[in-house]
Amino acid sequence: MPYLLGLDISTTGAKALLIDEQGAIVASHTTPQPISAPKPLWSEQNPADWWEGIAASIRAVLEKTGAAKEVAAIGLTGQMHGLVCLDAQGNVLRPAILWNDQRTQAECDQITETLGFSRLIQLTGNRALTGFTAPKVLWVRNHEPEVYSKIAHILLPKDYIRYCLTGDYAADLSDASGMLLLDVARRNWSEDVLKALNIPAAWMPQVYEGTGITGRVHETAAKATGLLAGTPVVAGGGDQAAQAVGVGAVKPGITALTVGTSGVVFAPLSSYAYEEEGRLHAFCHALPGQWHFMCVMLSAAGSLQWYRDTLAPDVEFGALVAEAAKVPPGSEGLQFMPYLTGERTPHPDPLARGAFIGLSVRHTRAHMTRAVLEGVAFGLRDSFELIKAKQAVEQVRVSGGGARSLLWRQIMANVLGSALTTVEETEGAAYGAALLAGIGAGVWTDVGAATAAIRLGETVTPDAPGSYEAAYQVYRSLYPTLKDTFGRLATLS
């Protein structure tokens, strides 16, 4: 029986997931990953930790199953937008700058001024945001010229693992779309953008469709992981594109909502399109010949995690949510702004900050908890409104840690005005990467066959239509009102 191995380099862990040809999970192991914030707004990791962690996870999975000889292919996924700088010998030159790093606003302004706002969006599908890769490259050039002078290759996080496995410099198109260096419509590197930013084209990895085979495991990696040398490695996808494959968001109309640390709305497209103001991300899908819109709010379930860790560290999440269930919709006039780490959709503002608005002596911890749940739902509705202006949303498939709460799913269904269907498979991006590997290796003939095993769970429908409309309109007014205040507060920290 052939097995497929999905590898996921997330911000918090290095996961290896093994599935069989029926799509059933055989084994999974995650090695925690350290993260560093050496300065305000900075977020970095050591690529050597990724490789050590993923090798350990692979060995653990193979030891559990003894399946090394049956692994038909390996698919890769991971956190998007990170910058790995390598010299001509493939050595890492500095810690990787991550997706949630916010140091590059000046470089974003430089990119926009150089290319022009409209032309940048037409070419890349996106505006220049601090999380993307291109501004990080310019930051290294502006602030670390000694490092910059040694660069021969730049890679994304999962593609550094590919390099360690195969020795090849390669990337898939969905992840490459998030670098702000790809001509997303043409599905290749943008000569215009690279030339305008003076980034050598020779630094860029070769790009592949997500199901394409990019190389094979070499002897050194085989010894480190327990895999067989020669095992094919498939391109895979950025974490959100792979997650979408893993939940079956593989055709227009089926929208994926992921409520993890961040909140992501993913809407497949059959042809390239972009949002003129750049409020929607327009990327290539991990599937050949498809694109997608994506919206990202930086602190979704992360908002609840922060709230619990900071204000109620000794209380279980279940107990907090149970309290919130007793509070009426709208939290009696209390609102929460979930911009704890800045925001991307629909407000691309690294200086945006979280806030409780409307606190009074009548409000209790239960009100505050419910306000957090509702504030995240309001932020997600902002994203859905943008997507609905471009195409119909026929079904919403919801996953992620935040989706485990029935109360939160019901709040989101009422706020969004849409039914939400859970997906029984909870392994997310790694599962999608394994499915892509299976398609690339010929275990499945196409994406339809690969995703046939995905099992849908419970559907929650709106039970109080319109109950949040007034509160949502108040929420929409808060960011425009406080935007300048956030900027002034930033000068104080």
Active site positions, annotated = 239
**Pick from 58, 48, 139: nearest CA to 86:** 48
By C-alpha distance, which of 95, 77, 83, 85 is closest to 131?
83
Backbone angles phi, psi at 129, to 5 degrees: -120, 150
Q: Is the dihedral of CA 73, 79, 80, 83 positive or negative?
A: negative
Q: What would the two tokens of residue 46 be?
A: 């050591």
**Tokens matching residue 447:** 């994406």
Q: What is the CA radius of gyration of the chain?
A: 22
Q: How far is the C-alpha of 254 from the C-alpha of 268, rounded, in Å?
A: 7
- Pairing mode, if any, of strands 263-269 and 254-259? antiparallel
Distance, CA of 126 to CA of 132 (rounded, Å): 10
Q: Where are the beta strands (DSSP E) in 49-88?
A: 71-78, 84-86
Q: How many beta carbons lie within 10 A of that of residue 485, not counting itself?
A: 12
**Cα angle 143, 149, 150; round to 5:** 120
Q: Both tokens of residue 329?
A: 């919709």
For residue 264, give the nearest of 317, 309, 300 by alpha carbon. Answer: 300
Residue 315: closest CA among 368, 379, 262:
368
Residue with tokens 């990080």: 136
* Inter-CA distances, 280 with 94, 127, 328, 425, 447, Å: 31, 9, 32, 27, 25
Query: Which H or E run contains 367?
Result: helix 365-388
Rounded Cα distance, 93 and 91, in Å = 6
